[in-house]
Structure formats: structure tokens, C-alpha cells
Amino acid sequence: MCALQGTNKKEERPRRRATLYDNVSQQFGQAADLMELDPDIRRILAKTANEIVVHFPVKMDDGRVEMFTGYRVQHNNVLGPFKGGLRYHPSVEIDEVRALATWMTWKSALTDIPLGGAKGGIQIDPLKYSPREIEHITRRFTFALGDNIGPEYDIPAPDVNTNAQIMAWILDTYLSMMPAHERNRSTHVVTGKPVESGGSVGREKATGQGVVYIIERWAKDHGFLLNRATYTVQGFGNVGSWAARLLKPHGAKLIAAEDVGGALFNENGIDPDDLANYVKKQGNVGGYPHAKAIAHETFMSTKADIFIPAALENQINAETAPWLNVKLVAEGANGPTDPEGDAILRRKGIELIPDILCNAGGVIVSYFEWLQNKRSESWELEEVDSRLHKKIIQAYEKVRSTAKAYETDWRTAAYIVALTRLATVYKERGIFP
Ligand code: NAD
């Protein structure tokens, strides 16, 4: 269990580098102070419900046995089953997973879906393992989690370095551990599955699609012409590449992109579909022939209308925020801007659409997948997209009016919308016993 620290804490603590969880705590405290959140509710939401750490052995291709550490943090399930992605990355550790789980609670509450918040992952560099080893690690992790996940209890999904194939292995392992007669009604134990294995059409692109719906709406509100806009994207994986590819039909021009392989620039525009095909073959953007390689600082300083961070956390911070030369930051990643970065962007007059709103398309369509599995239905792409559009724009409008009512920034406003919903439910239900 871990407590969020509100900004109104007075005691002196020794200086240390802020962790990701400190950032969530600061954001939470700021909104709770401004909306005068009931202190009882504040205490409840300041704790994660469960924190599961598993250590498990896996036999490698060469016969050696390696030990792995996996995490699942379940923050809150008052609105519905715990829900959130699984990340495979060397940086995965308890503080990071705690922060990501907490953001999921706010995201589900903000977008008005009947799900709670969780996150998990394994501390590994997936590039060091063969596909067969990744399969075995995934299956053994699922086995180690056991009853801590379940279709009506806690539902994982893809995140950084995980995908539909990994969800299919989790599904298969989970179902193999169930009595035969329960298997067919348990396929909603994970979302983001391949369509043939019970996934939803439109789920793979859903987060990027949501980012684009939000940018479109922001542009409309500001009388801003997307067909003349330039933009940059950090992270060209699921979220970043789909956001870029889906912005293409609007006529917006991608002029710079960055991922683990380096950064690229082309003032005449980079074709997102061509770059996505290149990344599929080569693994990252490094060496892409139709743009020139640039340094990280040059990438972050690129003058453009929109910047979409879609990689990892804390990319916009005290050092890098001063470099930004854009009108809008649309957060595709979770936690890409730390509180110092936020303050600098506000001072510079750069608008920001916060992660829990901007990247909520993924969890919204995961909810649709979960519903389709429960009802044995499969919806058409137009239905998925139009329902996603409706949900994410409703959340956008709530955040916009809340920001106005409280005269605050959009991140704090998004928190206020989410916390208001959670507080209402706690008040209605009361506390057992
Ligand atoms: P992904 O693994 O598909 O892609 C991650 C990208 O980030 C890759 O292009 C990688 O090269 C790049 N990257 C990693 N480290 C980097 C660094 N130091 N500098 C620059 N680029 C770097 O992951 P994803 O699913 O696209 O997730 C990206 C972000 O979006 C994460 O913050 C994730 O939590 C968030 N998110 C994902 C979803 C989803 O549905 N997949 C939903 C909501 C939020």
C-alpha cells in the first residue's frame, strides 16, 4: 500500500529526486486542494489497493534458468474491475507501476467507463530475448499472477513493448488454468487481443485515434487549420505511429520524429506510413533515408505547431521544457511532462492536453472489447470509432468547462472531473461496514 502525498503537506523532507509517483501525488494534491475534495475521500484515493510483486523462473533457449520480477499494482476498483496495461521495459519498478496504475483510475473515471485502475509489467529489456523466450516469460508471468487477474476482476492490456501477440499468450495461459466449462466466458481477461482471438477492430489504433480526435477538436475550438499544421512525434510505436498516420489525412505535416534509434527531421515532411513501414522492418527510426538525423535537443527544440510525446515519462521537464517551440502539447504517453515541465509550459503559453484525457482512446476501446466479449458480439469499425469519438469528446468538453469554471489548467481540470465522479460514488455507497 502506498499513500499519495498532497501538496498541502507541510513537514520538511530531505531533498531527493522526485519519482514518477511523486509527480502523480503532486498533480492529485493540486486538484484535491482546488476542488476541496472531502478529506475522507482524499485518504481513500491516496492509497493503492494491492501491490503484487512476483519473482518467477524461466528456462532460456540455451537451457539456463533466469529469474524475472513482475509487478501488478491495483490502485482502485470502486467504478469497476481493475484495468490497465502491462509494460516490458528495464525501467519497470514498483514506483513507476504505482504511478501508472493511479493514472488509470483517473482515466477511467474521467471518461466515464465502468472500470478501475491498475498497471503492471516485467523489468526486462525485451530486445535481449528471443520470441520464444518472450512467450515463455509471458506465460510464466501470467501463471505467477494467477487469480490476481480475471475477466471481472483485473484486466491487462498492451503497453510499452507489449502487443496483441503477448495478450494472446496471456489469454491462452489464463484459459488453460481454468476449468474447461468456464473458458469460453473468460476471454475478456485481457483486451488488445488479436481480432481473430476475440479482440476488437479499431483497438490497435485506438490510442492514436483518440489523440487525433482530441487534436481535431482542439483545432476546431481554436480556429486552427490542421491542413496547414506541422507536428513532431516522440515515440514511433503503437501510439505515436498511429497518431501520425491518422493525422496524415487531415493534411498536417510530420516534420520530426524520435524513438530509441534517434531523431529525424525533414522540413518538407516525413510520410508517417512510410516511416511506420520502415520501423516495422528495421525496429526503430534510426537510419531512415528520407530525413536527416538530428540530436535530441534539436528534436525537442523543433519549431512546429503540435508536439505529441508518445514514448516514456518525464520527457518534458525543467531541462527540456524551455526548448519547446510549439503551440500545443498533446500527451500520447503517460506522464510525459513532469510538474516542473508543466509550470514552464504554462509560463511559455504552450497549451497542453493532459495524458488522462488525450491518450484515453486505448482504455475506452479496451472497454468496448471487454463489452463485446461479455455479450458475444463483434462490432464494425465505424461503430467502434463513432462510440470512441463520442466518449472522448464528452470528456474533452467536461475538462474544458471545468478548466473554465475553476480558472485552472487542463491537467488539474481533468483530475477534478475524475475525482468528482469517484467522490460521488464513494459518498453514495458509503464505507463498509
Ligand atoms: P510502444 O512500445 O509501442 O512504443 C514506444 C515508443 O517509444 C517506441 O517507438 C520506442 O522506440 C520509443 N522510446 C522508448 N524510449 C525512448 C526514448 N528514451 N526516447 C525516445 N523514444 C523512446 O509503446 P506504446 O504502446 O506506443 O506506448 C507509448 C506511451 O503511450 C507509453 O507512455 C504508454 O504508457 C502510453 N499509452 C499506451 C497506450 C496503448 O494503448 N498502447 C494507451 C495509453 C497510453
- Cα of 116 vs centre of ligand 1, distance in Å, is 22
In our burial notation (b when 16+ CB lie closer than 10 A, e otherwise), range 373-388 reads beeeeebeeebbbebb
Q: Measuring from atom 35 of ligand 1, which residue has the nearest CA? A: 333
- Indicate which atom in ligand 1 lies nearest the CA of residue 261: 11
Q: Measuring from atom 36 of ligand 1, which residue has the nearest CA? A: 333
- Indicate which atom in ligand 1 lies nearest the CA of residue 87: 34
Active-site residue set: 119
- Indicate which atom in ligand 1 lies nearest the CA of residue 263: 20
- According to CATH, the topology of domain 47-188 is Rossmann fold (3.40.50)
pLDDT band at 14 (very low <50, low <70, confident <90, very high): low
Over the stretch 58-67, which tens digit does the pLDDT of each residue have? Answer: 999 999 999 9
d(CA 342, CA 157): 28
- Cα of 421 vs centre of ligand 1, distance in Å, is 28
Q: Which residues contact 6 (CB under 8 A, 6 or more apart)?
A: 25, 28, 29, 32, 33, 42, 46
- Listed in sequence order, the DSSP H helices in 199-295 are 206-221, 238-247, 272-282
Residue 1 pLDDT greater than 90, yes or no: no
Our mutation pick for probing the ligand 1 site, out of 160, 191, 200, 334, counting the most ligand atoms within 8 A of Cβ, is 160
- The ranges of the chain annotated as CATH 3.40.50.10860 are 47-188
CA distances from 232 to 267, 273, 352 (A): 11, 15, 14
- Cα of 74 vs centre of ligand 1, distance in Å, is 21
| pLDDT value at residue 334 | 97
Q: Measuring from atom 43 of ligand 1, which residue has the nearest CA? A: 359
- Cα of 351 vs centre of ligand 1, distance in Å, is 22
- Cα of 315 vs centre of ligand 1, distance in Å, is 12
Residue 110 pLDDT greater than 80, yes or no: yes
Contact by Cβ (8 Å): 15, 400:
no
- Cα of 43 vs centre of ligand 1, distance in Å, is 32
CA geometry: angle at 366 spanning 364 and 368, to 5°? Answer: 75
Q: Measuring from atom 16 of ligand 1, which residue has the nearest CA? A: 260
Residue 134 pLDDT greater than 90, yes or no: yes
* Burial bucket for residue 111 (CB in 10 Å: 0-12, 13-18, 19+): buried
CA geometry: angle at 230 spanning 213 and 261, to 5°? Answer: 95
Give the whole-number percent of the chain exceeding pLDDT 90.
95
| pLDDT value at residue 166 | 98
Ligand 1 neighbours by CB, cut-off 6 Å: 158-161, 207, 234-240, 258-260, 284, 310-312, 332-334, 359, 362
d(CA 202, CA 245): 14
- The ranges of the chain annotated as CATH 3.40.50.720 are 206-358
Over the stretch 240-292, which tens digit does the pLDDT of each residue have? Answer: 999 999 999 999 999 999 999 999 999 999 999 999 999 999 999 999 999 99
Helices 410-429 & 20-35, crossing angle to 10 degrees? 70
Our mutation pick for probing the ligand 1 site, out of 167, 211, 239, counting the most ligand atoms within 8 A of Cβ, is 239
Contact by Cβ (8 Å): 361, 213:
yes
| pLDDT value at residue 18 | 85
Q: Which residues contact 87 (CB under 8 A, 6 or more apart)?
A: 97, 100, 119, 120, 121, 122, 159, 160, 161, 162
Q: Measuring from atom 12 of ligand 1, which residue has the nearest CA? A: 235
pLDDT band at 74 (very low <50, low <70, confident <90, very high): very high
- Cα of 333 vs centre of ligand 1, distance in Å, is 6
d(CA 87, CA 90): 10
Residue 3 pLDDT greater than 90, yes or no: no
Smallest CA-to-CA distance from 125 within 169, 81, 68, 64 is with 68
Over the stretch 324-355, which tens digit does the pLDDT of each residue have? Answer: 999 999 999 999 999 999 999 999 999 999 99
Average pLDDT over residues 388-410: 98
| pLDDT value at residue 10 | 44
Q: Measuring from atom 23 of ligand 1, which residue has the nearest CA? A: 160
Contact by Cβ (8 Å): 107, 356:
yes
d(CA 420, CA 109): 9
* Superfamily grouping for domain 206-358: NAD(P)-binding Rossmann-like Domain (3.40.50.720)
| pLDDT value at residue 13 | 53
Residue 231 pLDDT greater than 50, yes or no: yes
| pLDDT value at residue 358 | 98
Our mutation pick for probing the ligand 1 site, out of 207, 242, 365, counting the most ligand atoms within 8 A of Cβ, is 207
Q: Are strands 50-59 and 65-76 parallel, antiparallel or unpaired?
A: antiparallel
pLDDT band at 302 (very low <50, low <70, confident <90, very high): very high
pTM of the model: 0.96
Residue 432 pLDDT greater than 60, yes or no: yes
CB atoms within 10 A of CB 305: 20
Average pLDDT over residues 400-424: 98
Query: Mean pLDDT of all residues in the chain?
Result: 96
Our mutation pick for probing the ligand 1 site, out of 23, 134, 238, 338, counting the most ligand atoms within 8 A of Cβ, is 238
